[in-house]
Amino acid sequence: MRDRPAVRSPGAVATRFALVVLVLAALLAPASVAAAPRPGESCPDTTPAPGASVVVCGEGGPDVGGGTVNIGGLLPIIAGVGIGAALVLVAAFLVLRRRAAGPVTPADPGEWWTCRNCGRNNVIGSPRCYACGAWQA
């Protein structure tokens, strides 16, 4: 059994984030399909006679310039941005991991002790071997 606390690596965090984004995209994709109007479900054509100012299907009067936001049309864009962000995080992790410096070694070889069980070198001051867990002799 190891005495070290569990530390989450950046790769594990990025992988979990990407998984959450993919699950959300999969759950929201059917919502965008359901938000689109189906044939036969739109408002009937009740175009008023020329010169009449009648509101048709709640679209607003002739002098109203506003409209509504189509949430169903925005969902694929939001999902694409989320997936793109996840891919950028994974790529950044892979690049930064390769460029990370190796472990810092003590300048003096006398700052090490060798494990009697496995032969690994350990920093003086550590009571147990990092590789096999044996106590320092």
**Share in percent of the chain as helix, strand, coil (round to 5):** 40, 5, 50
What's the average model confidence in pLDDT over 76-98? 89
Summarize pLDDT for 92-113 with one digit per residue, the tens.
888 888 776 666 665 576 788 8
Predicted confidence at residue 88, as pLDDT, reads: 93
Strongest mean pLDDT among 35-39, 60-64, 116-120, 123-127: 116-120
Of the listed ranges 28-37, 74-83, 116-125, the one predicted with least confidence = 28-37
pLDDT band of 85, cuts 50, 70, 90: very high
Predicted confidence at residue 83, as pLDDT, reads: 93
Place of tokens 């408002």: 43
Q: How many Å apart are CA 70 and CA 76, to the nearest integer?
A: 12
Summarize pLDDT for 17-73 with one digit per residue, the tens.
888 888 877 777 665 555 555 666 666 556 666 665 555 555 555 555 556 777 788
- The answer to whether 36 and 93 are in contact (CB under 8 A) is no
Higher pLDDT, 4 or 27: 27
Q: What's the chain's Rg over C-alpha atoms?
A: 31
Predicted confidence at residue 123, as pLDDT, reads: 85
- The answer to whether 116 and 127 are in contact (CB under 8 A) is no
